[in-house]
Amino acid sequence: MLHTLPGNQLEVLVEPLARLLAVPVDNPLEPDVILVQNPGMQHWLSMELAQHRDRRISMNLRFPLPVTEFWSLIRRVLGPKAVPEASPYRREVLSWRLDALLARDDIADHPVFAEPTRYWRRQSDRQQAVRRHQLAEQLADLYEQYLLYRPDWIADWDAGNGEHWQAQLWRLLTAETSVPHPIKLARQAIDQLAQPADALPERLFLFGINALSPFWLDFLKALSERGGIDIHLLYLNPSDDYWGEVVSERQAAKQRARWIEAEADPDTPLDVGNPLLANLGQQGQAFVRLLSERADLETPVFVENQTPTLLAQLQRDILHLHDGRESPSDLNDTSISVTRAHSALREVQGLHDWLLHRFNDDPTLTPKDVVVMCPNVEDYAPFVEAVFARRFEDLSEKVPPLPCSIADRHLKDADPTVAAFLDLLTLPDARFQVSQVIGWLRVPAIQTQFRLTPDDVDQLAHWLSDAAVHWGLDAQHKADFVEREVSDHFTWQQGLDRLLLGFAWGDEETILGERLLLPQVEGSDALQLGRLMAFVRRLKQLAAELNQPRDIEHWQAFLKDRLRLALFATGETFDPAHDDLRAAIADLGQHCFEAGYAGDIPLGVIRDVLMQAFSGSQSGGRQFLTGQITVCSLVPMRSIPFKVLAVLGLNDGEFPRHRPPLGFDLMANDHRLGDRSRRGDDRYLFLEALLSARDSIYLSYQGRDVSNNTERQPSLVLTELFGYLESASGWRREYIRDLPLQPFAAANYQGEQPSFDRHWLRLTHALPGASNIAELPEPEWPDELPLKQLIDALDHPSRAFARTRLGLFLGYDSGPQLDDSEPFAPDHLTRYQLQAQLIDSELGLDDRPVENWLERARLSGLLPDHREAEDDLQSWQHQAEQFAGNLMELGSGELTLDRVETIIDGQTLSAHLPRLADGRLLFWRLADAKGRDYLTLWLHHLVANLSGSTETLGLYRTNKTDAVYQLQLAPLNADDAKAELTNWLRIWKLALCRPLPLNAAIGVEIAKPRTRGEYQPYHFDRLWTGDQFRSGLGSDAYMHWFWPEPPDETALRDDLLALYEPLFAQLTET
């Protein structure tokens, strides 16, 4: 007997299942079999049965997948000799069999197979095997679909009919094995059922399955009729009325148009019923029709949600096939919540706040009552971890923690060990970029294996940055990529040599042969360097070994025992990852063994197969229903009920998901009842989500463009839901909650559902500008203030305030700057620093000769590895010599540093004044004078003139023309100098109590005399926003922090003119 039990709530279907399981059977020791579609449903159903009042335990049950159990039943009918334990027509095995067939010369060269052969042979020699196996996998998937949904085609091809290359390839496939395919075996089993079969179970259960192909439904029907098995199929059915003939409004319109065109007047009206059910339920509708044609007995198990909420009303309309638009209500509440955001991150943040409000409002709600679903959990997993995993120790007790677990993650994305293992399979093609190797060392399992800590890896990265390691193992490895002879500059060999020899040589940089040795490694740090060298050496060995083709047996041994154990530590922390790796490697070998694949396999194919193996969801339903909030992907036939259900990512074009058919998919243009599609599955998933929420449902989509705020449309399923709700209830689209673009927007903390996050709230208060920051009390002033410290503060007052008073270091990154690209052009900083060193050597301020500095520059790794670099060096040297000559003419050879101290307004100020023999001060920089240079000249000039009138000189060079120019400050009397210094000290003290936008760069821009007209306000705008040649002050981290919008230019101009006009009144430029 084929017994169907449709119901609209899965938890209600558990009741008849428990009663049926309680009926005694002849063999009580044989486990009952319950077919489910995925491990998540198995876990939930086991827990429900264990909590059922009549069972109190879940034991002696098996939960196989349908296709696995069908094969087992066939084997029990026909016997183990006729049917192997596993089918050689499984997709994973079939792909290897097809690969072997496609690789045969007689097939590849046959005109019939020109199309598939052309597909994989047009690739490079290295890629042909990979592309051929990918084609084999696609064909295996298609043949599996043909076996499920086109058994008549398979039978026709078996009979020798069909000239299409897929039909002929199928016949070759079946001819190479004595094991018949599942369709033929199933038919043989059905014929065999006419004879008694004691091995069959007395009963069989299918739970929560809403799609089976017509062939396997017929197989179940035959088992029930001929085999005497009681088959109970409990499935989710949205409606208690028969809706197998219901059509959507679109289908109805098309049918009426056809009738009008044919001038027909049908007697039977078209039944639309509930439009949501008709539009979203077409996938399930086909299953309902197929079951209604085959069921011997139907026992409806429907219940009505009597809760007076909008969600319950929607579910009742669907249950009774009622069109709510015919008698609309004014019902509207929070049981259906819709949110519109700008990005996936804001969706998750909005959901988090919404859930906190729900937990506050409902004391009975627990984390296990909540599920969050999205089309692809990988798109949201990082944001969920960032938002939900945060700790809230500093928040009030009203904010409960929200523990969550993320299910359905791909192992290659969820586990760093697995991800690194897959990445290391690319070693033969790797450029050994420095960031890539350091990234591998940051993987905990690799780090532990080589006895390193995170701090050790950071130290190694600093050393490699100093050693100019960019890419390539050595000169030969680089040459393999660029296909010409190259030096070992920027390679791991030169970098590690410099560090190792530098450690052995001493505590200062030394030139030894063609190496500039580095003294960075000291004492016990050599252990870390040695471990890095061992790691790189092992990578080099593995890269050579991976490039060798092997048969599958040797690949298994290499991957499991050589690659895995050579690089990854074992232990309790890492054992789950190793179990997954071993299982995947074992499955790979088993599939090849069952397929009889005996040839050598190139690395590319192994890598591609393992990548696909780890691109699936975590095995065993890991992290699903753990007692926490469950975050998972939208998966067919796993519509488990929850009190609160949230669906994120309902965006137009992204859901329903669409997978275009392959160009050689013969089913694409031959649709039949019962065929499945990804789009149809997703529409039915959304319908099941509406039915699975018990108290409330939260729907979210990205309705605004994050870059320009333009409107984006929701998913079509949401649009259909909106239309129905507006016509059948009091819900309106204006009730959609719009999240602000940023979490620190003031609107985020207003309205009925303000955010709980105090971290962003603090930033909200800071947004309007620095004027809202209360003036801090005066700090303890230093006994002695070095003039350089004063210049640092006055050059950028808001930065000084943030760092000294707030402890705020913005845009400060102490980490190493790893660059995978070698320099192809010298940068300005390298040029400036080298020329400064050359000038010091020319002036006798440095004991090292010029040639020593030039040789250091050549070997430092800072210059490009080409001939033009030497020309650049010569040019830089010539400019430095000329500039040094100009300084010598001014008397720099007799320059002395004169230390002075003075007390201004009670503050001791100290300075070192660079004096020439004639008493003048001299400053220089082989670059254009910037705001800081003017400030340095002026403040030193003021200090010097306190004790006597003197001039101050500054020598600089324009960046555009390389012309040298001189700035000269005229002498001041002591009283004027003291008055100016007093004013500057006043600004310094004020700047340490509140942020001031009085940067030297702005002051010079405003006060500096112009040759082309007077200063205009637009000059400040350009300075703030920047242009294509330089960034603006508004992009400075500290300026943007305190002034998201530009400060008032008029008031700012008056303050800066008062400070900088006296400077330019004394300044001349020649």
User: Is residue 40 in a domain?
Assistant: yes
Report the domain count for the chain: 6
**Domain end (from 265, 285, 305):** 285
Same domain, 468 and 567: yes
Q: Is 904 a residue whose pLDDT tops 50?
A: yes
Nearest Cα to Cα of residue 5 among 170, 260, 205: 205
User: Is residue 777 in a domain?
Assistant: no
Nearest Cα to Cα of residue 252 among 278, 287, 290: 278
Chain position carrying tokens 């000291």:
522
User: Is residue 316 in a domain?
Assistant: no
Residue 1018 vs residue 751, higher pLDDT: 751
**Phi, psi (deg, nearest 5) at residue 250:** -65, -45
Helical H segments across 403-516, by residue range: 411-414, 416-424, 434-441, 444-449, 454-466, 475-482, 492-505
Q: What is the pLDDT of residue 840?
A: 86
Contact 70, 190 (CB under 8 A): no
The CATH number of residue 247's host domain is 3.40.50.10930
Q: What is the pLDDT of residue 1034?
A: 79
The CATH number of residue 710's host domain is 3.40.50.300
Q: What is the pLDDT of residue 1010?
A: 67
Residue 681 vs residue 256, higher pLDDT: 681
Q: What is the C-alpha to C-alpha distance for residues 497 and 529, in angstroms, rounded to an integer?
A: 11
pLDDT digits (tens, 9 = 90+) for 146-194: 999 999 999 999 999 998 999 999 999 999 999 999 999 999 999 988 7
Q: What is the pLDDT of residue 392?
A: 47
Length of the chain in terms of residues written: 1070
Report helix, strand or coil for 38. coil
Same domain, 464 and 523: yes
Same domain, 557 and 592: yes
pLDDT digits (tens, 9 = 90+) for 440-455: 999 999 999 999 999 9
696 has which bridge partners? Answer: 644
Nearest Cα to Cα of residue 166 among 184, 147, 182: 147
Give the residue numbers spanning the domain of 1023. Answer: 792-812+895-1069
Nearest Cα to Cα of residue 977 among 1004, 948, 1008: 948
Give, in order, the Cα–Cα distances in Å from 84 to each of 74, 89, 184, 329, 979. Answer: 10, 11, 14, 61, 101
Give, in order, the Cα–Cα distances in Å from 892 to each of 146, 750, 847, 930. Answer: 90, 66, 16, 22
Q: Residue 535 is which amino acid? A: F
Q: What is the pLDDT of residue 756?
A: 85
Same domain, 930 and 857: no
User: Is residue 318 in a domain?
Assistant: no
Same domain, 910 and 1040: yes
User: Is residue 775 in a domain?
Assistant: no
Same domain, 466 and 517: yes
Sign of the alpha-carbon dihedral angle for 219, 220, 223, 224: negative
The CATH number of residue 507's host domain is 1.10.486.10
Structure tokens at 95: 């792909």
SS (H, E, C) 68-107: HHHHHHHHHHHCCCCCCCCCCCCHHHHHHHHHHHHHCHHH
Structure tokens at 354: 């919404």
User: Is residue 489 in a domain?
Assistant: yes
> What is the greatest pairwise CA distance in the chain?
123
**Strand pairing report for 907-915 and 784-786:** parallel
Chain position carrying tokens 């519109």:
340
User: Is residue 876 in a domain?
Assistant: yes
Same domain, 863 and 970: no
The CATH number of residue 119's host domain is 1.10.10.160
Structure tokens at 331: 């019902």
**Domain end (from 723, 749, 775):** 749
Report helix, strand or coil for 911. strand
Q: What is the C-alpha to C-alpha distance for residues 22 and 54, in angstroms, rounded to an integer?
A: 8
Sign of the alpha-carbon dihedral angle for 391, 393, 397, 398: negative
Q: 974: number of CA atoms within 13 Å, CB side?
A: 5
Same domain, 681 and 536: no
**Domain end (from 836, 858, 889):** 889
Query: Of 260-274, 523-537, 848-862, 949-963, which gets the smallest average pLDDT?
Result: 260-274
Q: Residue 152 is which amino acid? A: D
Query: Of 65-69, 666-670, 749-753, which gets the smallest average pLDDT?
Result: 749-753
Report helix, strand or coil for 689. helix
Same domain, 1050 and 980: yes
Give, in order, the Cα–Cα distances in Å from 380 to each of 85, 109, 435, 861. Answer: 40, 47, 26, 41
Q: What is the pLDDT of residue 154?
A: 96
The CATH number of residue 837's host domain is 1.10.10
Q: What is the C-alpha to C-alpha distance for residues 459 and 529, in angstroms, rounded to an integer?
A: 10
Same domain, 169 and 231: no
Contact 223, 73 (CB under 8 A): yes
Q: Is 767 a residue whose pLDDT tops 50?
A: no
User: Is residue 331 in a domain?
Assistant: no
pLDDT digits (tens, 9 = 90+) for 247-273: 766 666 655 565 566 655 555 555 668
Give, in order, the Cα–Cα distances in Å from 994 to each of 435, 775, 808, 810, 977. Answer: 41, 5, 13, 17, 26
Q: Is 826 a residue whose pLDDT tops 70?
A: yes
N- to C-terminal Cα distance for the chain? 106
Same domain, 521 and 419: yes
Same domain, 240 and 129: no
Q: What is the pLDDT of residue 1053?
A: 85
340 has which bridge partners? Answer: 701, 738
| Mean of pLDDT values over 396-406 | 72
Return the top range by mean pLDDT from 498-507, 845-854, 985-994: 985-994
pLDDT digits (tens, 9 = 90+) for 752-766: 889 888 778 877 765
